[in-house]
Amino acid sequence: MCGIIGICLRDRSQLPLGEALFRGLLRLEYRGYDSAGIAVIDSSRLHIVKGKGRLDELEARLGFTKKYTGETGIAHTRWATHGQPSDINAHPHVDCSGLFAVVHNGIIENYLEVKEKLESRGHVFKSETDTEVFVHLVEELYRELGDVYSAFKSAIKHIRGAYAILLITPIEPNKIFFAKKDSPLVVGIGSSYNLLASDIPALLDHTRRVVVIRDNWVGYITPSSVFVEDLERGFSVDHEQYAMTVLWSLEDASREGYPHFMLKEIYEQPRALVQTLSGLRSDAVLEQVVSLLVDADNIYITGAGTSYHASEYYAYAMSKLAGRLVIPFIASEYELYEETASNKDVLIAVSQSGETIDVLKAVRAFKKQGCRVVAISNVVDSAIPRESDYAIYMRAGPEIGVAATKTFLTQTLVLGFLAIAYAKSSGDLSEAEYRQILLEDIEGSVKVLGKVIEKVDALARRLVERLSGVKSMYYLSRGVGVPIAREGALKIKEIAYVHAEAYPAGESKHGPIALVEPGYPVVFIVPNDPLLERRILGNIMEMKARGAYSIGVLHEESPLVNSVDYSITVPSLHWVTTPITHTPFLQLLAYHLAVKRGLDPDKPRNLAKTVTVE
Task: Using CB under 6 A, list all residues that contact ligand F6R.
Answer: 304-307, 351-353, 356, 359, 403-404, 490, 494, 611
- Closest CA relative to residue 311, chosen from 285, 346, 348, 269: 348
Neighbouring residues of 612: CB distance < 8 A, sequence distance ≥ 6: 355, 356, 357
Least Cβ distance, residue 351 to ligand F6R (angstroms): 3
Neighbouring residues of 504: CB distance < 8 A, sequence distance ≥ 6: 476, 477, 478, 482
The H helix count followed by the E strand count for the chain is 20, 25
- Closest CA relative to residue 397, chosen from 33, 13, 44, 20: 33
> What are φ and ψ of residue 525, in 5° steps?
-95, 115
Q: How far apart are the first and last CA of the chain?
A: 30
Whether 609 sits among the annotated catalytic residues: the reply is: yes
Q: Please state at what angle helix 481-496 crosses helix 306-322, rounded to 10 degrees.
A: 170
Q: Compare residues 204 and 485 and give the one whose CB is closer to ligand F6R.
A: 485
Q: Compare residues 73 and 584 and give the one whose CB is closer to ligand F6R.
A: 584
Q: Compare residues 9 and 304 and give the one whose CB is closer to ligand F6R.
A: 304
Q: Compare residues 293 and 402 and give the one whose CB is closer to ligand F6R.
A: 402
Which of 320, 361, 509, 609 does the annotation list as catalytic? Answer: 609
Q: Compare residues 331 and 419 and give the one whose CB is closer to ligand F6R.
A: 331
What Rg, from alpha-carbon coordinates, does the chain have? Answer: 25
Q: Compare residues 520 and 591 and give the one whose CB is closer to ligand F6R.
A: 591
Least Cβ distance, residue 307 to ligand F6R (angstroms): 4
Q: Compare residues 58 and 330 and give the one whose CB is closer to ligand F6R.
A: 330
CA distances from 500 to 317, 320, 520, 551, 590 (A): 25, 28, 11, 14, 11
- Check if the beta carbon of residue 356 is closer than 8 Å to that of residue 347: no
Residue 506: which region, alpha, beta or left (left: phi > 0; alpha: psi -120 to 50)?
alpha
Whether 96 sits among the annotated catalytic residues: the reply is: no
- Closest CA relative to residue 439, chosen from 423, 422, 417: 417
Gap between the Cα atoms of 336 and 45, Å rounded: 62
Residue nearest to ligand F6R (CB): 305
Least Cβ distance, residue 590 to ligand F6R (angstroms): 9
Q: Compare residues 95 and 494 and give the one whose CB is closer to ligand F6R.
A: 494
Least Cβ distance, residue 54 to ligand F6R (angstroms): 19
- The full length of the chain comes to 614
- Closest CA relative to residue 273, chosen from 68, 44, 442: 442
Gap between the Cα atoms of 260 and 528, Å rounded: 32
Q: Residue 176 corresponds to which amino acid?
A: I
- Check if the beta carbon of residue 72 is closer than 8 Å to that of residue 7: yes
Burial label, 145 (beta-carbon count in 10 A; 0-12, 13-18, 19+): middle
Least Cβ distance, residue 186 to ligand F6R (angstroms): 30
Gap between the Cα atoms of 41 and 19, Å rounded: 14
Quickly list DSSP for 91-107. Answer: SPEE-SSS--EEEEEEE
Q: Compare residues 132 and 494 and give the one whose CB is closer to ligand F6R.
A: 494
Q: For residue 376, what are the β-bridge partners?
A: 350, 392
CA distances from 519 to 5, 13, 374, 464, 592 (A): 53, 69, 45, 14, 20
Which of 2, 52, 115, 371 does the annotation list as catalytic? Answer: 2
Residue spans of alpha helices (H) in 468-556: 481-496, 530-545
What is the enclosing helix (H) or strand (E) of 61?
Answer: helix 55-62
Q: Compare residues 264 and 555 and give the one whose CB is closer to ligand F6R.
A: 264
Query: Catalytic residue numbers?
Result: 2, 609
